[in-house]
């Protein structure tokens, strides 16, 4: 397509500036809204993934083979002899893709107060290390998070505390099947309560130090159930899990799972989110087709005599097609620039201030097994932006073909007679 043809196409667009500006405004606003939607949906995906992996589930988890999903108490890393926990955590943390790692022990038992009891999952952690991979310490509503000053202190969900009727400072009894077949029981003090918005956690999770839970379960210090891993790039979780499994498997039988395998419902929602974004893009492209076809047809009808004269003096049908397609391409290009200029402030606002749907953090809702707060932040998704721009450009070119082919079929003698 020659520069002369492009110059002529651009001049033709502005022969009717009102029509061109209306078309540009419609397409440009549509593109700006696509950028807004892509940014918002990418931010929602990221927020859900971070929320889903930031409470108890981590980006990647290292287990003994056969431990997940039933989590039998006796199935620890290294078997009955256990493993060097510090060396294992250090080996995982040495991977450049890993941000932090923390050992964990799980148990299931009965939480009893003076008059009430309830079943709960028991999670033993190293508090300082656990805070590097999860954010449960930020959800405290009463008391304090686990500290070394209270070795017999526990933290539980606020709904569980309400069910058994305890407050911060109350004493509770934990009763659980131990790994050796006996029954473990001991007295603990409630150090704090958390609220996550997930009913299953708020009603059924007790957090304690890993040493306390190992003692309760009759597990020696070298026996742990899991190492939770936080990554620098959560989008690389599956590839990192596979690499860690190969690396660690050289010295210890392990099974390493990434969050999409550990939380398939969340992974399904992320894919659903992407499909919704694609559908919204597709709907806009259909609207763009109608707008561009209408604009080009109106332009051709108003220039029938002119096109007939050009063909009479030697312009070939293929050149007429090229001219109309060049006009559509110019219209699309100008609209993309306008849409990007309109969309840039929206993207900035989404990323800095977020979209507030109303309410405070307690107004958060549970979706796909994770908590989504009322404040949604956007996230740059340059892949989606590029796809939207290319899709719009292709849509414009395809939409111009019908008007262009119609113009190419004009007979010069008949076209010249039209006023």
Q: Would you list the DSSP string of 150-216?
A: -TTEEEEEHHHHHHHT--TT-EEEEEEE-TTSSEEEEEEEEEEEE--S-HHHHHHEEEEEHHHHHHH
> Distance of CA 234 to CAs 63, 152, 230, 258, 374, Å?
19, 34, 8, 9, 23
Q: Are residues 115 and 258 in the same domain?
A: yes
| Residue after which a domain boundary falls, among 262, 294, 316 | 262
Exposed, middle or buried: residue 246 (CB in 10 Å: 0-12, 13-18, 19+)?
exposed
pTM of the entire predicted model: 0.76
Q: Are residues 325 and 238 in the same domain?
A: no
Q: Are residues 157 and 16 in the same domain?
A: no
The chain-wide mean pLDDT, for the chain, equals 84
Q: Are residues 121 and 230 in the same domain?
A: yes
**Which residues touch 290 (CB under 8 Å, ≥6 apart)?**
none
pLDDT exceeds cutoff 50 at 99:
yes
Q: Are residues 155 and 213 in the same domain?
A: yes
Q: Are residues 42 and 184 in the same domain?
A: no
Q: Are the C-beta atoms of residues 25 and 338 closer than 8 Å to each other?
A: yes
Distance CA 213, CA 184 (A): 10
Q: Are residues 186 and 284 in the same domain?
A: no
pLDDT exceeds cutoff 60 at 26:
yes
Domain count, the chain: 2
Q: Are the C-beta atoms of residues 373 and 361 closer than 8 Å to each other?
A: yes
Range of the domain at 184: 58-262
Dmax (CA) of the chain: 102
Q: Are residues 323 and 309 in the same domain?
A: yes
Cα 47 to chain centroid, rounded: 6
Section 391-410 average pLDDT? 73
Render pLDDT for 231-285 as a digit per residue (tens, 0 to 9): 998 889 999 999 999 999 999 999 999 999 988 888 888 888 888 888 888 887 7
Q: Are residues 208 and 271 in the same domain?
A: no
Section 132-138 average pLDDT? 90
412 vs 243, higher pLDDT? 243
Q: Are residues 246 and 270 in the same domain?
A: no
Distance CA 232, CA 245 (A): 18
| Residue after which a domain boundary falls, among 262, 287, 305 | 262
| Residue after which a domain boundary falls, among 262, 283, 305 | 262
140 vs 400, higher pLDDT? 140
Q: Are residues 209 and 286 in the same domain?
A: no
| Local structure of residue 236 (DSSP, 8 states) | G
**Which residues touch 342 (CB under 8 Å, ≥6 apart)?**
28, 29, 32
Q: Are residues 75 and 219 in the same domain?
A: yes
């Amino acid at each position: 397509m020659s520069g002369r043809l492009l110059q002529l196409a651009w001049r033709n667009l502005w022969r009717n500036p009102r029509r061109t500006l209306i078309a540009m405004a419609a397409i440009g606003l549509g593109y700006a809204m696509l950028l807004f939607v892509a940014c918002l949906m990418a931010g929602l995906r990221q927020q859900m993934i971070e929320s889903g992996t930031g409470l108890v589930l981590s980006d990647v988890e290292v287990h003994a083979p056969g431990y997940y999903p039933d989590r039998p108490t006796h199935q620890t890393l290294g078997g009955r002899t256990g493993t060097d926990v510090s060396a294992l955590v250090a080996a995982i943390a040495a991977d450049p893709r890993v941000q932090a790692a923390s050992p964990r022990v799980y148990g299931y038992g009965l939480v009893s107060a003076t008059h009430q009891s309830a079943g709960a999952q028991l999670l033993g952690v190293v508090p300082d290390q656990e805070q590097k991979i999860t954010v449960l310490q930020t959800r405290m509503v009463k008391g304090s998070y686990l500290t070394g000053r209270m070795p017999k202190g526990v933290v539980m969900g606020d709904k569980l505390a309400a069910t058994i009727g305890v407050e911060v400072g109350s004493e509770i009894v934990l009763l659980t099947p131990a790994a050796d077949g006996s029954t473990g029981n001991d007295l603990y003090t409630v150090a704090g309560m958390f609220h996550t918005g997930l009913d299953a956690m708020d009603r059924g999770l007790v957090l304690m130090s890993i040493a306390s839970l190992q003692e309760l379960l009759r597990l020696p210090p070298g026996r742990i159930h899991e190492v939770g891993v936080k990554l620098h790039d959560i989008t690389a979780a599956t590839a990192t899990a596979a690499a860690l499994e190969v690396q660690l498997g050289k010295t210890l039988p392990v099974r390493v799972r990434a969050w999409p395998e550990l939380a398939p419902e969340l992974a399904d929602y992320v894919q659903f989110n992407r499909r919704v974004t694609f559908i919204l893009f597709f709907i806009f492209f259909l609207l763009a087709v109608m707008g561009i076809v209408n604009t080009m047809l109106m332009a051709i009808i108003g220039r029938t005599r002119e096109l007939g004269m050009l063909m009479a003096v030697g312009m070939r049908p293929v050149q007429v097609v090229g001219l109309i397609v060049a006009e559509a391409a110019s219209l699309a290009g100008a609209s993309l620039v306008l849409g990007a200029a309109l969309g840039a402030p929206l993207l900035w606002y989404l990323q800095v201030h977020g979209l507030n749907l109303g309410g405070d953090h307690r107004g958060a809702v549970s979706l796909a097994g994770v908590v989504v707060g009322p404040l949604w932040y956007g996230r740059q998704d340059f892949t989606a932006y590029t796809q939207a721009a290319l899709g719009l450009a292709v849509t414009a070119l395809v939409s111009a073909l019908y008007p262009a082919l119609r113009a190419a079929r004009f007979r010069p003698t008949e076209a010249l007679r039209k006023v």
